[in-house]
Amino acid sequence: MSTLFAQPLEKISFKLIRWIGTPYSVVFHTLIFVAVPALSFLGFELRTVLLMFTTWLSIEAIYLAIFIQMSVNRNTESLEEVEEDIEDIQEDASEEEEAHKVILHIAQQMKTIQHELDILKKSGYLKSGPSKVHKA
């Protein structure tokens, strides 16, 4: 189906899905369920009324099943997007954790170097004063 028709149909169907989940829908369906069988009291043949009523109910059940599946599909797509976002966040957190480990390793190396410099200074191999720059 072309997107020219798909988008308006999708909008209409999702509006209908939202409406079906309202109290107005309950009232509407209750009135239909009472009114259609009551047609037999107005002179319509009961057998014909019941045939039309069961046909209508079957068609409505099919559409409700389709609407439910559409909602499930839409929610599944939404959950997949959330899942991708969570994976991105986990990757970012993992990268930050790795960076933190590298920084800790560098800090440990700096402590080791500082300790070795202190040993060299104490032993006299390294003078601890400001270094003089020779001018040429």
List per-residue pLDDT tens for the chain, 136 residues long. Answer: 556 667 888 888 888 888 888 899 899 989 988 888 888 889 999 999 999 999 999 999 998 898 888 888 888 888 888 888 888 888 888 888 888 898 999 999 999 999 998 888 888 877 765 555 445 4
Domain annotation covers residue 64: yes
For residue 119, tell me if it sits in a domain. Answer: no
Count Cα neighbours of 114 within 13 Å in the Cβ-side half-sphere.
6
**How many structural domains does the chain have?**
1
> Domain range for residue 61?
7-93
Q: Is residue 45 part of a domain?
A: yes
Identify whether 21 is part of a domain: yes
Is 109 a domain residue? no
Task: Give a yes or no: residue 98 inside a domain.
Answer: no
Q: What angle do CA 35, 38, 40 make, to 5 degrees?
A: 140
For residue 132, being part of any structural domain is answered with no
* Residue 44 lies inside a defined structural domain of this protein: yes
Q: What are the tokens at 74?
A: 């839409």
**Residue 119, SS3?**
helix
In the numeric block, the tokens 């994976």 are attached to 87
The secondary structure of 16-79 as a DSSP string is: HHHHHTSHHHHHHHHHHHHHHHHGGGGT--HHHHHHHHHHHHHHHHHHHHHHHHHHHHHHHHHH
